[in-house]
Amino acid sequence: MNNNQIISLLPYQEPFLFVDDLTMMSSEGITGQYTFKKESYFYEGHFKNNPITPGVILTECMAQIGLVCLGIYILKDQLSEENQPQVALTSSQVDFFLPVLPGEKVTVVSEKEVFRFNKLKCKVKMLNEKNELVCRGQISGMLKA
């Protein structure tokens, strides 16, 4: 399964799709990128005259790439256009270190900690274009084909 096939199976669409590309995929982890568009709706009013990407959106980006895309890759033999993945976020714990500004490209790196009884738990981090740590944490969810 290639990156375009995985992205097509995501249960999201614009303006709530936060995956542009996947550059590394294995059953043990995944790496992907997203560029936050300057005109995104969530920048309006999120700090007057100084917009930054809300932490909840950064967490969502990490979950879409690091948990859902990885889960789709792990379940790839059971999925198709007719048999879409079912996803539910069960927990997240994220520490934030740097802001992400409108127009910035980030890289999400995820490592599988455990996948058992349809629950996937990952260690996830987000890096900016300077390869600086933006945020990191653990994200878990239930995935079913």
Active site residues: 46
C-alpha–C-alpha distance, residues 39 and 34, integer Å: 14
Sign of CA dihedral 7, 10, 16, 18: negative
Q: How many other CB atoms are found less than 10 A from the CB of residue 74?
A: 20
Let me know: does 54 contact 46? Beta carbons within 8 Å. yes
C-alpha–C-alpha distance, residues 126 and 31, integer Å: 10
CA angle 54, 32, 8 (to 5 degrees): 95
